[in-house]
């Protein structure tokens, strides 16, 4: 019993001792020493804070670089497959990295976006193109339905299906302009004149034709330096 009384008294003494300001750890220091002590404590805090900021900054930078790197890798892979990403956000980034060409019909109601590189860029002399499009030959860029997409005014788009050929043409109901035609595998053939008309009458160099195809079906001779395949890409060249 006496032991508890003794302990209680001791605890009370200790509390009284600690609550006395003069017995703080800094007691006994001069004003100058005290202010130096406080400054050092502040400096130490700032040093730790600065290190924390620096470490966070480096971490954020590493994450941003990693994100950029993987996005670019992804976009490049998609470009090799000639397909834009399915996610809207990535498609936006892809669009910013890849070149995009925007074309409209004459009345501007329909907008067609061409993204990345076309599958082919040729001047076609085949009888089917002639029959569908009513021209002597067809200078064209060929895209997939993912790289050539209607981005505005789709309700104005009408389709004409050729009764015999597996070809369709897509045109504006209002102005009649043909935006593209499709073949049996639904690739989209966009006329070069439509792209040129939307780029100050100048076809972008990277979209110009690199070869003639089906030259043996021609009705007009063309004199230029491009190779002239008698039929498809792997057929013999015309020697004239």
Q: Using CB under 5 A as the criterion, which residues of the chain lie in contact with Zn ion when the complex forms?
A: 105, 107, 109, 124, 126, 129, 172, 174-175
Q: With CA atoms as reference, report the closest residue to 203 among 191, 211, 212, 193.
A: 193
C-alpha–C-alpha distance, residues 153 and 144, integer Å: 19
Residues 145 and 237: beta-carbon distance below 8 Å: no
Minimum gap (Å) between residue 178 Cβ and Zn ion: 10
The residue (of 28 and 227) whose beta carbon lies closer to Zn ion is: 227
The residue (of 75 and 189) whose beta carbon lies closer to Zn ion is: 189
Minimum gap (Å) between residue 220 Cβ and Zn ion: 14
Minimum gap (Å) between residue 102 Cβ and Zn ion: 14
- Listed as own residue / partner, the contacts of 9-13 with beta carbons closer than 8 Å and 24 or more positions apart are none
b vs e for 121-149, b when ≥16 Cβ sit within 10 Å of the residue's Cβ? bbbbbbebbbebbeeebbbbbbbbebbbb
The residue (of 30 and 155) whose beta carbon lies closer to Zn ion is: 155
Minimum gap (Å) between residue 105 Cβ and Zn ion: 3
The residue (of 75 and 195) whose beta carbon lies closer to Zn ion is: 195
């Amino acid at each position: 019993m006496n032991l508890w009384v003794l302990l209680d008294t001791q605890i009370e003494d200790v509390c009284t001792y600690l609550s006395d300001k003069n017995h703080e750890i800094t007691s006994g220091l001069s004003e100058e020493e005290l202010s130096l002590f406080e400054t050092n404590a502040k400096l130490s805090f700032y040093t730790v804070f600065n290190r924390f900021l620096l470490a966070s900054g480096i971490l954020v930078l590493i994450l941003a670089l990693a994100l950029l790197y993987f996005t670019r890798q992804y976009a490049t892979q998609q470009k090799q497959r000639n397909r834009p990403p399915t996610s809207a956000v990535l498609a936006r980034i892809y669009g910013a990295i890849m070149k995009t060409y925007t074309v409209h019909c004459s009345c501007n109601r329909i907008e067609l976006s061409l993204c990345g590189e076309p599958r082919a860029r040729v001047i076609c002399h085949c009888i089917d193109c002639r029959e569908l499009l009513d021209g002597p030959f067809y200078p064209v860029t060929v895209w997939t339905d993912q790289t050539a997409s209607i981005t505005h005014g789709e309700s104005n788009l009408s389709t004409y299906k050729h009764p015999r050929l597996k070809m369709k043409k897509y045109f504006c109901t209002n102005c009649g302009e043909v935006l593209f035609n499709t073949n049996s595998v639904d690739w989209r053939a966009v006329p070069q004149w439509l792209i040129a008309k939307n780029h100050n009458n100048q076809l972008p160099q990277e979209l110009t034709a690199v070869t003639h195809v089906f030259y043996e079906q021609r009705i007009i001779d063309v004199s230029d330096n491009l190779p002239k395949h008698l039929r498809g890409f792997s057929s013999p060249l015309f020697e004239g």
